Amino acid sequence: MQPIHVIGGGLAGTEATWQIAQAGVPVILHEMRPHKQSPAHHSEHLAELVCSNSFGAQSSDRASGLLHEELRRLGSVVIGKADEHQVPAGGALAVDRGLFSRDLTDTLASHPLIELRRDEVHQIPDDGVVVLTTGPLTSEALSRDLQRFTGQAYMSFFDAASPIIVGESIDRDIAFMASRYDRGEAAYLNCPMNREQYLHFWQELCAAEQAELKEFERETAKFFEACLPIEEMARRGEDTMRYGPMKPVGLFDARLGHFKDPALKDKKPYAVVQLRQEDKQGNLWNMVGFQTNLRWGEQKRVFRLIPGLENAEFVRMGVMHRNTFINSPELLGATLQFHQRPTLLAAGQLVGTEGYTAATAGGWLAGTNAARVALGQAPLTLPVNTMMGALIDFISSAEPKHFQPMPPNFGIIPALPAKIRNKRERYGHYRDRSLDDLTTWANNHKLELRSPSLVAT
Ligand code: FAD
């Protein structure tokens, strides 16, 4: 049988390669390190953790913990080795990064069906089944070829993203739905500010602490000129934001009366923060124009000063960094196959799932499906009520115009039939439904699941 080619031995590529080999299909894993290093990697090992050594919270009623558990039950080699090389980290699944990556490298290298090839791939191979997992720092030559294959408009090289907030955590007594000048359907949630609130917010934003930029991010900062961080805009003058993303004109709270009523003049907001719907269900809201380089803790502190966002629950913080990713909603199906070539699959940060565990999840599905394609079997789609399924569903069906990478979170999972106010209780119900659905799905597809090992805190 022709071997499958997996390109990129990071988190997604390592998991994909293992799943292919475990399905009995020969596989060649291409990794450019150590001959060529990315600007963030330092070692020659597979699945190197480029920054933090943590896979996120472990408790199974947290989004990352649920994803760990789903992957564990599905026989993920990455999560299996993370469990083996765990180090104490409060409630998080953190690992000894050296032991973890070395063990994964040895494990893959000693599998009889895996060939580990240390080379940089410049072009997508024309023939056979191929899985692309080259991550946020895909080498230049392959990025160019991907651009050729997908069309220029479907590639992003920088991530200038605003924070995303869970809709349920926004105070709807303060925030109001409206579109500017009442044009079309009321599509935005608007958080109004009076002058005093605005000035306090402006001062805090100017003084907030920035994240330190990496050398390669500093080099690429010039690309962001057309897309200024909100704190930089604030520093340019007291009113700059009020002429930019916080422009108050044409926005009226219909609950206060008709906008042409002269009595409403005094109630006009001095500034407005707009939130745009991020997902089909309206569970997630994106702060329009709030791309930022502030430290994550500072973002939470300062953005919670905005009226209506006092208790905001953030699922993704604002970022501005180098990040190669494709416009997956246009290009990929929920099986992680490209529409234009079903024998080409992709996973990891390259397709817009964010973080180590999410990359592993995509790697599991892309590897499993690549093997199924090679064996002439129908590829699988994950149940959407699982965290893995919800993530893949999001990246393959989000609104393509505003597509940004997404980490695991409960905002992307379909709502429960009944509303549960208590957050921990609600997340517990999501977990139970997810794991039940995973079991049913696995049984239907005759997949073997490992024993449960729920972590609760
Ligand atoms: P990677 O793990 O990056 O793997 C891609 C692999 O492909 C690399 O080994 C690379 O060498 C190889 N490669 C690239 N091009 C080629 C080619 N042409 N031929 C052959 N091989 C190639 N996520 C977190 O969860 N926590 C963090 O703390 C965190 N910090 C980050 C810090 C930085 C600076 C960056 C850029 C990202 C960070 N991320 C973090 C996101 C992180 O990139 C992903 O979580 C994860 O590494 C993605 O896995 P991946 O498999 O998609 O890509």
**CB environment 9-28: b (16+ within 10 A), e (fewer):** bbbbbbbbbbbbbbbebebb
Angle between helices 97-109 and 77-84 (to 10 degrees): 140
**17 CB near ligand 1 (under 6 Å):** no
Dist. CA 135 → ligand 1 center (Å): 4
Dist. CA 78 → ligand 1 center (Å): 14
Q: What percent of the chain has pLDDT over 90?
A: 75
Dist. CA 115 → ligand 1 center (Å): 21
Instruction: Give 142's pLDDT tier (boundaries 50, 70, 90).
Output: very high
Dist. CA 32 → ligand 1 center (Å): 12
Q: Which of 5, 6, 11 to mutate to test the pocket of ligand 1 (most atoms within 8 A of CB)?
A: 11
Question: In this model, does residue 432 exceed pLDDT 60?
Answer: yes
Residue nearest to atom 45 of ligand 1 (CA): 355
Question: In this model, does residue 307 exceed pLDDT 90?
Answer: yes
Question: In this model, does residue 255 exceed pLDDT 60?
Answer: yes
User: Judging by DSSP bridges, how do beta strands 27-30 and 114-117 pair with one another?
Assistant: parallel
Question: In this model, does residue 225 exceed pLDDT 70?
Answer: no
Instruction: Give 294's pLDDT tier (boundaries 50, 70, 90).
Output: very high
Q: Which of 389, 367, 271 is nearest to 27 (CA)?
A: 367
Dihedral angle, C-alpha 347, 351, 357, 363, nearest 10 °: -10
The rounded mean pLDDT for the chain is 92
User: H-helix or E-strand containing 104?
Assistant: helix 97-109
**349 CB near ligand 1 (under 6 Å):** yes
**356 CB near ligand 1 (under 6 Å):** yes
Mean pLDDT across 384-395: 98
**16 CB near ligand 1 (under 6 Å):** no
What is residue 97's predicted lDDT score, i.e. its pLDDT? Answer: 93
Q: Which two tokens stand for residue 85?
A: 């090389």
What is residue 214's predicted lDDT score, i.e. its pLDDT? Answer: 67
Mean pLDDT across 69-86: 97
Number of helices followed by number of strands (H, E) in the chain:
13, 17
Residues 48, 339: Cα–Cα separation, whole Å: 30
Instruction: Give 259's pLDDT tier (boundaries 50, 70, 90).
Output: low
First-residue to last-residue Cα distance in the chain? 47
Q: How far is CA 396 from CA 223, 232, 349, 405, in A?
A: 27, 33, 13, 11
- Least confident residue range of 36-50, 66-80, 153-167: 153-167
Dist. CA 40 → ligand 1 center (Å): 8
**33 CB near ligand 1 (under 6 Å):** yes
Residue nearest to atom 31 of ligand 1 (CA): 51
What is residue 220's predicted lDDT score, i.e. its pLDDT? Answer: 57
Of ligand 1's listed atoms, the one at least distance from the Cα of 350 is 52
**CB environment 195-205: b (16+ within 10 A), e (fewer):** eebbeebbeeb
**What ipTM describes this predicted complex?**
0.99
Mean pLDDT across 171-176: 96
Of ligand 1's listed atoms, the one at least distance from the Cα of 54 is 26
Residue nearest to atom 48 of ligand 1 (CA): 349
Instruction: Give 423's pLDDT tier (boundaries 50, 70, 90).
Output: confident
**31 CB near ligand 1 (under 6 Å):** yes
Instruction: Give 219's pLDDT tier (boundaries 50, 70, 90).
Output: low
Mean pLDDT across 149-163: 84
Residues 188, 169: Cα–Cα separation, whole Å: 16
Dist. CA 26 → ligand 1 center (Å): 24
Mean pLDDT across 403-411: 93
**405 CB near ligand 1 (under 6 Å):** no
Angle between helices 356-374 and 77-84 (to 10 degrees): 140
**324 CB near ligand 1 (under 6 Å):** no
Dist. CA 359 → ligand 1 center (Å): 9
Supply the DSSP symbol for 211: P
